[in-house]
């Protein structure tokens, strides 16, 4: 698949069929994620593949409600996390990206470079999933501490994001982008 086609046409998918996903396909998608660049090649990402309905449901229950038109409503991805046959939880080993060998941050952006590395891996994951005909939606609005507890995560790791993975049951809505000219500058910001 042409990379520009994948980048432009991938959409967040919030409705899934229950068709099971072969482990080989999951590994293909995660292999793509794992080939992302990372700080000092630290590869701080870890992927937890959850198929167990009860665990998926417990994790989905950690989603925060969101405010839409002054009303508290469920996160739009809540149902999809229970519906999709697979949930991939992406965690990071902290104290690696952006840190020296003692785990001390080496830039004035602090110890959060792992977010950057995870994002690179997750974008690869999304595009690879799209290329093999599967849907995804990045989920960010959840209680990471609760998810860590549910998944028995050691304290050196933190949960960054997750995505359902499955056969799309409906097309994703196109969220329009700003004009490139609104976000692009030459030489200096102003």
Ligand X SMILES: Cc1cc2nc3c(=O)[nH]c(=O)nc-3n(C[C@H](O)[C@H](O)[C@H](O)COP(=O)(O)O)c2cc1C
Q: Which of residues 167-186 bind ligand X (CB under 6 A)?
A: 172, 175
The candidate with the shortest Cα–Cα distance to 25, out of 167, 170, 174, 189, is 167
Name the β-bridge partners of 48: 89
Count of residues touching ligand X (by CB under 6 A): 12
Rule CB under 6 A: say whether 15 interacts with ligand X. Answer: no
Rule CB under 6 A: say whether 43 interacts with ligand X. Answer: no
User: Using the rule CB under 6 A, which residue among 133, 140, 149, 171 binds ligand X?
Assistant: 140
Rule CB under 6 A: say whether 77 interacts with ligand X. Answer: yes
Give kind and range of the element (H or E) at residue 66.
Answer: strand 66-68
Rule CB under 6 A: say whether 83 interacts with ligand X. Answer: no
Cα 107 from Cα 104, distance rounded (Å)? 9
Cα 181 from Cα 140, distance rounded (Å)? 28
Cα 83 from Cα 88, distance rounded (Å)? 13
Tokens of 83: 């519906």
Interface segment toward ligand X; rule CB under 6 A; list 16-24, 69-77, 102-110, 143-151: 69-77
CB of 12 to ligand X, least distance (A): 4
Rule CB under 6 A: say whether 136 interacts with ligand X. Answer: no
| Closest to ligand X by CB, 38 or 62 | 62
Q: What is the 3-state secondary structure (H, E, C) of 94-125?
A: CCCCCECCCCCECCCCCCCHHHHHHHHHHHHH
User: Using the rule CB under 6 A, which residue among 79, 105, 111, 141 binds ligand X?
Assistant: 141
Tokens of 169: 């049951």
CB of 140 to ligand X, least distance (A): 3
Rule CB under 6 A: say whether 70 interacts with ligand X. Answer: no
Interface segment toward ligand X; rule CB under 6 A; list 44-52, 74-82, 94-102, 145-153: 74-82
| Angle in degrees, 0-180, between the axes of helices 113-131 and 23-34, rounded to the nearest 10 | 140
What is the contact surface with ligand X in residues (CB under 6 A)?
Answer: 11-12, 75-77, 137-141, 172, 175
């Amino acid at each position: 698949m042409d990379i520009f086609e994948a980048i432009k046409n991938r959409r967040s998918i919030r409705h899934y069929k229950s068709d099971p996903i072969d482990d080989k396909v999951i590994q293909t998608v995660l292999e793509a994620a794992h080939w992302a660049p990372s700080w000092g090649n630290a590869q701080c990402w870890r992927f937890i593949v959850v198929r167990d309905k009860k665990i998926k449901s417990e994790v989905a229950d950690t989603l925060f409600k969101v405010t839409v038109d002054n009303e508290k409503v469920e996160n739009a991805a809540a149902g999809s996390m229970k519906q999709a046959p697979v949930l991939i939880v992406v965690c990071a080993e902290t104290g690696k990206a952006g840190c020296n060998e003692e785990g001390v941050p080496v830039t004035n952006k602090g110890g959060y470079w792992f977010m950057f590395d995870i994002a690179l891996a997750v974008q690869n994951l999304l595009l690879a999933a799209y290329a093999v005909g599967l849907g995804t939606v990045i989920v960010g609005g959840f209680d990471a501490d609760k998810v860590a507890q549910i998944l028995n995560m050691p304290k050196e790791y933190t949960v960054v994001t997750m995505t359902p993975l499955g056969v799309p049951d409906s097309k994703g809505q196109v969220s329009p982008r700003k004009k490139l000219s609104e976000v692009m500058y030459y030489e200096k910001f102003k």
